[in-house]
Amino acid sequence: MSEATYIPGTCNIGKSEIRRRQVVGLVGLFFSLSSLVALVSVSAPREARLGIFLPLMVASVGYVQSRSKFCLAYGFAGTFNLGKLGDITRVSEPGARAQDRATALKILIKSLVLASLSTLVVFALPF
């Protein structure tokens, strides 16, 4: 793929924005793993493991957005960025904005499900 183009409901970010979402996903993963190690090392109560949901949600949102080539926030705001960072453009067509919002909602739901399932796995671990 040489140059990204805006496609309503499908693609609203370019290479630099995708890279930014990958970094967010990795940061969320780092904090998730370090939180898990801390919880285990201090023998925290099992219920404390539910607190890992937030960093797992950050990791999930970054991962799903980078894989989808679609920004959740841009989708809800009716904007896109296919160029350099900070070069945001408004979506002018109402139908395209509706498609973007629908895709943003799907990404949010996928991220919530992924983070919730991951949190349940951490909660169920026998340590």
Residue 52 lies in a domain: yes
Residue 103 lies in a domain: yes
Residue 2 lies in a domain: no
DSSP 8-class letter at 80: E
Taking each continuous run of H as one helix and of E as one strand, the counts in the chain are: 4, 2
Residue 3 lies in a domain: no
Per-residue pLDDT for 68 more than 80?
yes
Residue 10 lies in a domain: no
- Tens of pLDDT along 78-89? 999 998 888 899
Q: Model pTM?
A: 0.91
Length of the chain: 127
User: How many domains does the chain fold into?
Assistant: 1
Residue 115 lies in a domain: yes
- Tens of pLDDT along 2-39? 467 999 999 999 999 999 999 999 999 999 999 999 99
In the numeric block, the tokens 């090392």 are attached to 41
Q: Which domain holds residue 101?
A: 15-124
Q: Which of 69-73, 76-80, 85-89, 107-111 has the lowest mean pLDDT?
A: 85-89
